[in-house]
C-alpha cells in the first residue's frame, strides 16, 4: 500500500517496521514528529528526555543491553550530546543505535546553520542521508543494519525539506520485534579508561576501513550514466532539485555521505568529462573528492549558505536564471513572528523592556520579545546559555552591574540545561536575577511535555518538578513566584529582587494560551472610541489583535478627537482577543472595556 508521508513519519514507520521498539529524544524542529509518530505505535518505549545528551545516554544504555535504539534530535542537539557521542564511537553499540540529526539549512527555525555531516567525519561514524520519504523509510532500516553489523553508532541526517516534505511511500511488513536484550559484561569494551580506549581507538580506524569498503557496494550509492559530458555528484534533497533542472546529466547519487566510496567516485569520474558537486552548506563531499585528486566544480559556483532549489542550481551552472519560474508570482505580505494573543510571556517582557537592565535571554517563544515594541531581551545564544551569561556579565560589571542584570529562561529550556548554571550562581555568589518562564509546556516546538508538566510523552501522570524547591535546594536564597498577567506586581517583584544582594529566582507562572482550560476562557476586550486618546500605550504591548486606525483613513463621520492633536484610535479585533487584560492594565484612560 502506498501512502503520503512526511520524511519524519517515514523514519518512525521504517524503524517500527524494522523491529525497533526503543526511542528517546528531545524536541527540536525539524525532528520533533519522529518521536511523536513513533510513540503512538503499539508496544514501543519512547521518551522525551530532558536534553539530547541524556537522550543519547539513555539510548547507549538500551543498546548496550542489546536493544535497537533510535535517538532523535535537531542539528544543534548533537552539540549537546557530543560528549558521550565521541566515546560511544570507540565502545561501539552492542545492539544497534541510530542518531537522527535533523539539519536546518536556511535556519527556518534554528539559531545556526551548522552542517552536521562534519560530525560524522569528526566522530568517525557512518552517516546515511535520504532524499525523500521512501528513502527515509528504507535507509533507517539500513542504518540499523549497519549499526548492528559494524558495531557502530550511525548518523542518519535529514534536512528540513526532507523531514517535512510529503511523498509517496510503500508500506512494508512489520518485522516482529525480537527481544535480544540481556545483561552482558565486557569492561574492556565499555569502560573507557585510557588503557582500554587506546585499544578501541585502533578498532575505530579498522571499522572505518571496513565501512569504506561497504560504501563501495552500498546500493544507495548509485550511478545513473546519461550524458557523458556532464556529471553531478550529490546527496539528499539537492539530488531532486538537480534532477528537476538537468534530467539528462549523469549522476552519482550518494545515500551514504560518510565514509565516501573512493573507487566508485573514481569510476564515475572516468565516465564523465565535467563533474559538479552539488551540496547545501559546507563543501563536505567536494573537499574529500578533491583530496582524491579528482577535479570537480563545487563551491566556486554554488552558495555556502541557505537551502538550494532548482533555480539556485540552474543559475550556478548556466550562469543565468531559469526560463520558467519555480515559484508562483504571489506576493505574500511579510508577517514577522510574534507572541500569541494572551501569551503569558508578554506581561513579563513588557515589564523587563522598561526596567533598563540587560536581559540575557534564551531559546523559546519568549525569544520573540527581543523585537519592537517589547524589546525586553538582549541576547540569545543557545539553550541554557542565559543563566551563565547573566552570571558572567554581573561578575564582569561588578558594582556597575548591581541590580542591572537579568537572565530569562523557559521551563523546558531550564530543565534542558539551566540547572547546572543556576547551581553555579549559588556556588559562585552571583548577583543576577533569573526568571524562569513557566508556561507549563515546551511551546515553541509544539507543546511537548517535560519533567515539570507532570505528564510523560504518552500522557501518563508522573512526578512534577517543583522549580521553587529546586532553586532553594541549589542554594538560591531569594525565590519568588509571580503572575505575569499582573503587570504592577511583576514590576514590583522584579525591582525588589534586583535591589537585593545575591542571586534571585523569579518563577513567572502562566500557562501557555494553548494549554489553558476552556473553562478559564475570558471575555474579549474592545476599545471605547469615546474614551481612547490615541496615546498608543496598548500598542506598546505588541499584541496581535490590537491595531491602530488613523483618523485620516476613516470615513469623515467617524472622526472624533478626545484630546487635541489626537491622530487616531486603537482597535481590538475581538475574534483574536483572549481577554488577558494586559491592555486594560496599561490604558490610563479606561478606554479598554470588556465585550459584553
Ligand X SMILES: Cc1ncc(C[n+]2csc(CCOP(=O)(O)OP(=O)(O)O)c2C)c(N)n1
List the one residue from 259, 341, 361, 410 that touches ligand X (CB under 6 A). 410
80 belongs to the binding site for ligand X (CB under 6 A):
yes
How far apart are CB 182 and ligand X at their closest, in Å? 33
ω before 486 within 30° of 0 (cis)? no
Query: Pattern 531-570, binding to ligand X, x per CB under 6 A?
Result: ----------------------------------------
Q: CB of residue 108 vs ligand X: minimum separation in angstroms?
A: 12
Give yes or no for a contact between 109 and 29, defined as CB atoms under 8 angstroms apart: yes
Residues 278 and 242 sit within 8 Å (Cβ to Cβ): yes
> What's the grid cell of residue 168?
509517496
Instruction: Find the binding residues for ligand X in span 278-317 (CB under 6 A).
Output: none
What is the C-alpha separation between 340 and 144, in angstroms, rounded?
Answer: 41
User: Which cell numbers hold the place of 81?
Assistant: 550530546
Per the listing, cell 550514466 goes with: 225
Q: Report the 10 Å Cβ neighbour count for 192.
A: 15
Min separation Cβ 416 and ligand X, Å: 7
Which C-beta is closer to ligand X: that of 28 or that of 310? Answer: 28
* Nearest-approach distance from CB 534 to ligand X, in angstroms: 33
Of 90 and 366, which CB lies nearer to ligand X in the complex structure?
366
Q: What is the spatial distance between Cα 85 and Cα 77, in angstroms, rounded to a whole number?
A: 11
What residues between 354 and 373 interact with ligand X by CB under 6 A? 363-366
Q: Which residue has the cell 510523560?
A: 456
Contact 241, 310 (CB under 8 A): yes
Contact with ligand X (CB under 6 A) among 39, 76, 256, 340: 76
Pull the grid cell for residue 256: 551514504
Q: State in angstroms the smallest separation of the CB of 519 from ligand X.
A: 22
Q: How far is the CB of 386 from ligand X (least distance, A)?
A: 10
Q: At closest approach, how far in Å is the CB of 107 from ligand X?
A: 11
347 interacts with ligand X by CB under 6 A? no
C-alpha 22/C-alpha 19 separation (Å) is 9
Nearer to ligand X, 148 or 363 (CB): 363
Residue nearest to ligand X (CB): 410
What is the radius of gyration, based on Cα positions, of the chain? 28
Window 81 to 120, contacts with ligand X (CB under 6 A): 111
- Cα–Cα distance for residue pair 239/509, rounded to 1 Å: 48
Q: What backbone torsions phi and psi does residue 584 show, to the nearest 5 degrees?
A: -65, -40
Rounded to a whole number of angstroms, the minimum distance from the CB of residue 484 to ligand X is 12
CB of 438 to ligand X, least distance (A): 8
Q: Is 572 within 8 Å of 545 (Cβ atoms)?
A: yes
- Using the minimum distance from each CB to ligand X, give the nearer residue, 309 or 411: 411
State which of positions 39-68 bind ligand X (CB under 6 A): 52
Residues 439-468: x where in contact with ligand X by CB under 6 A, - otherwise, as a string = x-xxxxx-----------------------
Least distance (Å) from ligand X to the CB of residue 321?
35
CA 384 to mean position of chain CA atoms: 14
Residue 203 CB partners (closer than 8 Å, separation 6+) = 90, 92
Query: Between residues 265 and 406, which has the closer beta carbon with respect to ligand X?
Result: 406
| Of 445 and 504, CB closest to ligand X | 445
Among 71, 44, 67, 46, residue whose Cα is nearest residue 57:
71
What minimum distance in Å lies between the beta carbon of 481 and ligand X?
Answer: 17
Reduced to 3 states (helix: H, G, I; strand: E, B; else coil), residue 525 is strand
Q: For ligand X, give the closer residue by CB, 160 or 439.
A: 439
Q: Which CB atom, from 112 or from 175, has the smaller least distance to ligand X?
A: 112
Task: Examine residue 30 and tell whether it contacts ligand X (CB under 6 A).
Answer: no
Q: Per CB under 6 A, which region of 210-218, 258-266, 408-416, 557-565 contacts ligand X?
A: 408-416
CA distances to 148, 186, 266, 479 from 191, rounded to whole Å, are 20, 8, 40, 41
What DSSP assignment string belongs to 429-488? Answer: T---EEEEEE-SSBTTTT-B--TTTTB-TT--B-----HHHHHHHHT--EEEEE-TT-HH
Task: Tabulate helix, strand, coil % of the chain (nearest 5).
Answer: 40, 20, 40
Measured CA distances, 451 to 215, 373, 389, 466, 471 (Å): 41, 33, 24, 9, 15
C-alpha 207/C-alpha 222 separation (Å) is 22
CB 299 within 8 A of CB 321: no
Residues in region 378-407 near ligand X by CB under 6 A:
383
What is the size of the binding site for ligand X (CB under 6 A)?
Answer: 25
Of the residues 13, 68, 74, 346, which one makes contact with ligand X according to CB under 6 A: 74
Binding letters toward ligand X, positions 9-28, x by CB under 6 A? -----------------xxx
17, 33, 411, 449: residue in contact with ligand X (rule CB under 6 A): 411
Considering the complex, what minimum distance in angstroms separates the CB of residue 349 from ligand X?
11
x/- map, 413-442, ligand X, by CB under 6 A: x-----------------------x-x-xx
H or E element in which residue 220 lies:
none
- Identity of the residue, 17 or 57, whose beta carbon is nearer to ligand X in the bound complex: 57
Parallel/antiparallel/unpaired status of strands 127-128 and 166-170:
unpaired
Residues binding ligand X (CB under 6 A): 26-28, 52, 74, 76-77, 80, 111, 363-366, 383, 410-413, 437, 439, 441-445
Amino acid at each position: 500500500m502506498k501512502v503520503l508521508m512526511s520524511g519524519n513519519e517515514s523514519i518512525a514507520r521504517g524503524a517500527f517496521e524494522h523491529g525497533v521498539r526503543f526511542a528517546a529524544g528531545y524536541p527540536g524542529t525539524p525532528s520533533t514528529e519522529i518521536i511523536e509518530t513513533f510513540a503512538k505505535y503499539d508496544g514501543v518505549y519512547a521518551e522525551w528526555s530532558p536534553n539530547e545528551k541524556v537522550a543519547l545516554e539513555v539510548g547507549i544504555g538500551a543498546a548496550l543491553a542489546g536493544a535497537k535504539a533510535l535517538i532523535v534530535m535537531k542539528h544543534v542537539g548533537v552539540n549537546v550530546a557530543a560528549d558521550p557521542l565521541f566515546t560511544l564511537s570507540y565502545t561501539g553499540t552492542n545492539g544497534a543505535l541510530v542518531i537522527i540529526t535533523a539539519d536546518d539549512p536556511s535556519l527556518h527555525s534554528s539559531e545556526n546553520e551548522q552542517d552536521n555531516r562534519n560530525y560524522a567525519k569528526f566522530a568517525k561514524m557512518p552517516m546515511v542521508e535520504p532524499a525523500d520519504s521512501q528513502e527515509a523509510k528504507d535507509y533507517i532500516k539500513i542504518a540499523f543494519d549497519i549499526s548492528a553489523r559494524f558495531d557502530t553508532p550511525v548518523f542518519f541526517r535529514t534536512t528540513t525539506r526532507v523531514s517535512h516534505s510529503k511523498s509517496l511511500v510503500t508500506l512494508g511488513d512489520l518485522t516482529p520485534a525480537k527481544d535480544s536484550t540481556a545483561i552482558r559484561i565486557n569492561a574492556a569494551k565499555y569502560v573507557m579508561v585510557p588503557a582500554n580506549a587506546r585499544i578501541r581507538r585502533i578498532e575505530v580506524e579498522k571499522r572505518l576501513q571496513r565501512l569504506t569498503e561497504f560504501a563501495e557496494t552500498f546500493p544507495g550509492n548509485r550511478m545513473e550514466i546519461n550524458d557523458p559530458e556532464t556529471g553531478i555528484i550529490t546527496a539528499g534533497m539537492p539530488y531532486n532539485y538537480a534532477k528537476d533542472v538537468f534530467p539528462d546529466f549523469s549522476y552519482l547519487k550518494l545515500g551514504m555521505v560518510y565514509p565516501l566510496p573512493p573507487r566508485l567516485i573514481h569510476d564515475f569520474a572516468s565516465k564523465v568529462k565535467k563533474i559538479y558537486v552539488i551540496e547545501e552548506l559546507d563543501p563536505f563531499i567536494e573537499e574529500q573528492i578533491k583530496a582524491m585528486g579528482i577535479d570537480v566544480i563545487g563551491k566556486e559556483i554554488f552558495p555556502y549558505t541557505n537551502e538550494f532549489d532548482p533555480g539556485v542550481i540552474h543559475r550556478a551552472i548556466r550562469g543565468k536564471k531559469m526560463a520558467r519560474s519555480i515559484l508562483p508570482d504571489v506576493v505574500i505580505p511579510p508577517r514577522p513572528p510574534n507572541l500569541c494573543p494572551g501569551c503569558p510571556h508578554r506581561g513579563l517582557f513588557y515589564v523587563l523592556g522598561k526596567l533598563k537592565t540587560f536581559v540575557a535571554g534564551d531559546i523559546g517563544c519568549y525569544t520573540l520579545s527581543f523585537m519592537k515594541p517589547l524589546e525586553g531581551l538582549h541576547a540569545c545564544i543557545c539553550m541554557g546559555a542565559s543563566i551563565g551569561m547573566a552570571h558572567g556579565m554581573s561578575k564582569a560589571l561588578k558594582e556597575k552591574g548591581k541590580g542591572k542584570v537579568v537572565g530569562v529562561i523557559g521551563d523546558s529550556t531550564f530543565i534542558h540545561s539551566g540547572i547546572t548554571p543556576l547551581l553555579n550562581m549559588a556556588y559562585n555568589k552571583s548577583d543576577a536575577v533569573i526568571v524562569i518562564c513557566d508556561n507549563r509546556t515546551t511551546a515553541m516546538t509544539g507543546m511537548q511535555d517535560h519533567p515539570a508538566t507532570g505528564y510523560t510523552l504518552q500522557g501518563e501522570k508522573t512526578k512534577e518538578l517543583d522549580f521553587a524547591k529546586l532553586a532553594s535546594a541549589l542554594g538560591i536564597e531569594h525565590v519568588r513566584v509571580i503572575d505575569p498577567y499582573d503587570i504592577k506586581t511583576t514590576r514590583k517583584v522584579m525591582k525588589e529582587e534586583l535591589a537585593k544582594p545575591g542571586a534571585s529566582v523569579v518563577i513567572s507562572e502562566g500557562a501557555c494560551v494553548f494549554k489553558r482550560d476552556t473553562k478559564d476562557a475570558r471575555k474579549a476586550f474592545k476599545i471605547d472610541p469615546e474614551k481612547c486618546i490615541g496615546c498608543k500605550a496598548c500598542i506598546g504591548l505588541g499584541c496581535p489583535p490590537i491595531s491602530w486606525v488613523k483618523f485620516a483613513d476613516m470615513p469623515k463621520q467617524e472622526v472624533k478627537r478626545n484630546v487635541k492633536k489626537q491622530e487616531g484610535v486603537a482597535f481590538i479585533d475581538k475574534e483574536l482577543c483572549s481577554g488577558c487584560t494586559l491592555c486594560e492594565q496599561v490604558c490610563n484612560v479606561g478606554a479598554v472595556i470588556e465585550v459584553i
